A and B are shown apart, each in its own frame.
Chain A
Amino acid sequence: SQQGEEDPQALSIQEGENATMNCSYKTSINNLQWYRQNSGRGLVHLILIRSNEREKHSGRLRVTLDTSKKSSSLLITASRAADTASYFCATDRDDKIIFGKGTRLHILP
Chain B
Amino acid sequence: SQTIHQWPATLVQPVGSPLSLECTVEGTSNPNLYWYRQAAGRGLQLLFYSVGIGQISSEVPQNLSASRPQDRQFILSSKKLLLSDSGFYLCAWTQGLADEQYFGPGTRLTVT
Interface residues of A (CB under 8 A from B): 2, 30-31, 33, 35, 40-45, 48, 88, 90, 92, 95-102, 104
Contacts and interface: CB of A to CB of B under 8 A. Distances in A.
Q: Which of B43, B46, B94, B103 has the most CB of A within 10 A?
A: B43
A46 B57 CA distance: 27
Given A40-B106, A41-B106, A42-B105, A48 B100 contact: yes
A96 B108 CA distance: 24
B98 A97 contact: yes
Nearest to A104: B41
Interface residues of B, number: 24
Contact of B43 (A42, A44, A95, A102): A102
A96 B97 contact: yes
With a 10 A CB-CB cut-off, give which of A31, A44, A45 has the most chain B CB atoms. A45
B43 A88 contact: yes
The 6 closest A-B pairs by CB, nearest first: A42-B103, A92-B98, A101-B43, A95-B97, A99-B44, A45-B100
8 contacts: A33-B100, A41-B105, A42-B92, A43-B90, A90-B101, A95-B97, A97-B98, A104-B41
B104 interface: yes
Nearest to B6: A42
A43 B103 contact: yes
Interface string B73-102: 000000000000000101010100111111
Contacts, number: 55
Main secondary structure of the interface of A (DSSP, over half): strand
Nearest to B45: A99
Contacts of A43: 44, 90, 92, 101, 103
A44 B103 contact: yes
Given A40-B108, A42-B104, A30 B98 contact: yes
Nearest to B43: A101
Nearest to A90: B101
A41 to B, nearest CB: 6
A97 B108 contact: no
